[in-house]
Amino acid sequence: MNLIDFIHDVTWEDIPEDVREQARRCFLDTMGVAVGGRVTSLTDIIYDFVTQAYGGNQASLWMDGRTCSIPGVVLAHGMGIDALDMHDSCRPVKGHAGVAQVPAALATLGMGNGAPIDGKEFLTTLAMAYDVSIRSGTALHATACDYHTSGAWNALGTAAIVARRMGLSKEQTRHALGIAEYHGPRSQMMRCIDHPTMLKDGSGWGAMAGISAGMMASAGFTGAPAITVEAPEVAEYYADLGQRWSLMIQYFKPYAVCYWAQPAIACALSIQKQHNLSHTDIKAVRVHTFHESFRLATRFPKTTEEAQYSLPFPIAAALVHGRLDYPQIHGAALNDQTVIDLVHKVELIDDDAFNARFPADRLSRVYIDTNDGRTLDSGEMRSLWDLTAPPSNDELIDKFRNLVKPLGTERAAQLEDAVWNVHQLADVDVINQLMIDPA
């Protein structure tokens, strides 16, 4: 099956049971992060922006109620999810698909003939869009000269969603992919690592570019070919389409920081738990890690974005509080003198042994020197919840429940039931309705 046929013709019956469940897991995780991300200043700013710049009443902003166009809504929701940096990720593309595909799949429910979209079709569309995104992203990474943000390739997935929703012809779909690839934000990710700001991973812009591409193609705008789909040298990335599902290589994040920081945080918390260690017992913390993680060098963040792309600060915050949730890297917590004092004791070491194993393995090792003369060693560790030890359904549900507390008990429970059991819904728009009112 070629990619364009796959976009239009894949069905619920084509999807294996484990892939169906993984689609539900990714959907649940992304929606929890969407609610959690609403508390950020980034989301406030982008919501105000899209209501001014992308007028209309096609779709509603989550936890807000204002309306704007579908491209505007997916821009806002993609950036709002990205704001929390706690959403699902994929190693081959070093980035994120769900952050764009979930908002796009929900915002486009009314496209086409206007008939309700049931849960099985919704999850089928989501599984398809993840595959289009991850495969085109892998092809782009293999053929481009720099490391670019996720928006560069998740734009193709959102264009594919529009093509399926609107029933575009094969030729129109081909053009939609070409437009999306051309206009997808091929921005340099390491610039955001070195200078953390609200730019993040480009996913909101990718989602908007893809939605716009599909709508433009439906009106006759041309844009093919998409090199990451049609070039002969990328054919291998589509050879097992419909047999190997990209959803199955998504991993989840327990902490609201860059994934490259997560192995070292897991190391530090492991030592603390194993030795019943207080932050007051610590003389020095030495973090051996790979170069990309070493680049997360901001020591004293002034914004939550700087904290999310830091390594010393979240390690110190985790050791002070015994855990790392969003409140520890936001607002007044950034001025916590106890954490700042511990940051001074954190040393980062760019370890060639770990560099040699990146990106197949993302490993760190932490040594903690104590005031009583001990040196405690975490050993080599991966991030929690990576592909070697994914979270259970109960762990993901607990994460979701923690993130959606701002909704209140009754509404949070209704949202959890609708999202987790989405495959049983006759009309998925009930989830949009649950998300509209402010918390």
DSSP secondary structure, 285-304, as one string: EEEEE-HHHHT-B--S-SSH
- For residue 195, pLDDT beyond 90: no
Instruction: Answer whether residue 113 shows pLDDT above 90.
Output: no
- Taking residue 57's Cβ as centre, other Cβ atoms within 10 Å add up to 9
Q: Are 206 and 100 in contact (CB under 8 A)?
A: yes
Return the closest-CA partner of residue 388 out of 365, 363, 371.
363
Which residues, in sequence order, are CB contacts of 229 under 8 Å at separation 6+? Answer: 3, 136, 139, 156, 177, 181, 238
The pTM for the full model equals 0.95
Q: Please report how many Cα atoms fall inside a 13 Å half-sphere around the Cα of residue 322, on the Cβ side.
A: 7
For 221-233, the pLDDT digits (tens) are 999 899 999 999 9
Which whole number is the average pLDDT over 159-168? Answer: 98
Look up residue 232 and give its two tokens: 């002969």
Cα 167 to Cα 90, 138, 214, 216, 262: the distances in Å are 29, 26, 10, 14, 41
d(CA 355, CA 293): 10
Give me the pLDDT at residue 170, please. Answer: 97
Distance CA 171, CA 289 (A): 47
DSSP letters of 406-433?
A: GG-HHHHHHHHHHHHTGGG-S-THHHHH
Could you read off the pLDDT of 67-101 as tens digits, one per residue?
Answer: 999 999 999 999 999 999 999 999 889 899 999 99
The torsion angle over the Cα atoms of residues 203, 206, 212 and 217, rounded to 10 degrees, is -140
For residue 210, what is the enclosing H or E element? helix 203-218
Report cis status (omega within 30 of 0) of the bond before 225: yes
Residues 6 or more apart in contact with residue 369 via CB below 8 angstroms: 282, 283, 284, 285, 286, 375, 376
pLDDT tens by residue, 8-47? 999 999 999 999 999 999 999 999 999 999 999 999 999 9
Identify the pLDDT of residue 231. 96
What digits encode the pLDDT tens for the residues 359-408? Answer: 888 999 999 999 999 999 999 999 999 999 999 999 999 999 999 999 99
d(CA 129, CA 115): 20
pLDDT in tens, 49-70: 999 999 999 999 999 999 999 9
More confident residue, 318 or 193: 318
